[in-house]
Amino acid sequence: MSELKLLYITAGSLEEAKRLGRLMVERELAACANVIPGMHSVYRWQGKLCEDEEVVLLIKTSAERVDTLIEAVVEEHSYECPCVLVLPIETGFTGYTEWLRAQAVGVSE
């Protein structure tokens, strides 16, 4: 099942996360996007300790679409250096993973 991937992305606002998720699904780079508001982030940026409210965006796609999807997210994102991480989907409910494969994300059976 490693042909399916989950991207973990952070955004600075609910509106930005929704826009990015919608755009990736509309462009058929992703099967699904989940927006999770209310994350508090603590990080170091350019030597300074920072704390901000952010929004998590989870995107499900295929391995072959990952590079194009990352490029699109980075191009559309407001951050200079956005958090975009790719995680393998190891297993899951067969009905759901079959649905993911059936979407226009370039996964062949």
Residue 16: inside a domain? yes
The number of distinct structural domains making up the chain is 1
What band does 101 get if pLDDT is binned at 50, 70 and 90?
confident
Per-residue confidence (pLDDT) for residue 51, from 0 to 100: 97
What band does 104 get if pLDDT is binned at 50, 70 and 90?
low
CATH number at residue 29: 3.30.70.120
Where in the sequence is the domain holding 50, given as residue range(s)?
A: 4-102
pLDDT at residue 79 is higher than 60: yes
Residue 94: inside a domain? yes
Per-residue confidence (pLDDT) for residue 107, from 0 to 100: 45
Residue 109: inside a domain? no
The amino acid at 65: R
Residue 108: inside a domain? no
Residue 16 backbone zone (phi > 0: left; psi -120 to 50: alpha; other: beta): alpha
- Percent share of the chain, pLDDT over 90: 85
Residue 107: inside a domain? no
Residue 64: inside a domain? yes
Q: What is the pLDDT of residues 7-45, one digit of tens each?
A: 999 999 999 999 999 999 999 999 999 999 999 999 999
Per-residue confidence (pLDDT) for residue 1, from 0 to 100: 56
Q: What is the pTM of this model?
A: 0.91
Residue 81: inside a domain? yes
Residue 32: inside a domain? yes
